[in-house]
């Protein structure tokens, strides 16, 4: 797939996620679900930072005794923190609905929109982090 087509597809997908979250705020006259955007935008950052740090480390400094591909405690912490942010992004609208701050439609739209935004960020990272083959048949 052409990189330009990937970007166009992902930007349309991201726009639909943002649209759902903004409509959940505007249609129900409560702007509290906007926090979902912030949470889901911050969710992949710990994993990105941990992977960058792990990839830049020298083998001499890791003190690895060839115990296999065991992840470091820092990498595990970042994965746990990302999971915490994802669960928080889902639980926040549920809590707002439970306390009566937002309505059911707003809760559903903000959760689905937040998951679309997070999924789009993950797919974007996955699309553009794969190694390109040098001997591609048609050089697309």
Phi, psi of 102 (to 5 degrees): -130, 165
Identify the pLDDT of residue 112.
Answer: 96
Nearest CA to 73 among 84, 81, 85, 41? 81
Identify the pLDDT of residue 51.
Answer: 86
Identify the pLDDT of residue 138.
Answer: 59
Domain count, the chain: 1
Identify the pLDDT of residue 131.
Answer: 57
Do the domain assignments include residue 134? no
Do the domain assignments include residue 113? yes
Ranges of the chain with pLDDT below 50? 65, 134
Domain span at 36: 3-57+71-128
> Max Cα separation, the chain?
58
Provide the whole-model pTM.
Answer: 0.81
């Amino acid at each position: 797939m052409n990189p330009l087509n990937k970007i166009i597809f992902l930007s349309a997908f991201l726009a639909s996620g943002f649209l759902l979250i903004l409509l959940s705020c505007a249609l129900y006259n409560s702007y509290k679900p906007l926090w979902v955007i912030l949470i889901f935008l911050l969710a992949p950052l710990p994993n990105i930072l941990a992977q960058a740090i792990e990839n830049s480390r020298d083998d001499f400094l890791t003190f690895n005794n060839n115990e296999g591909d065991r992840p470091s405690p820092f990498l595990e912490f970042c994965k746990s923190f990302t999971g915490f942010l994802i669960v928080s992004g889902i639980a926040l609208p549920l809590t707002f609905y439970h306390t009566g701050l937002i309505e059911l439609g707003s809760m559903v739209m903000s959760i689905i929109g937040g998951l679309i935004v997070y999924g789009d960020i993950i797919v974007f990272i996955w699309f553009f982090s794969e190694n390109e083959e040098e001997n591609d048949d048609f050089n697309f």
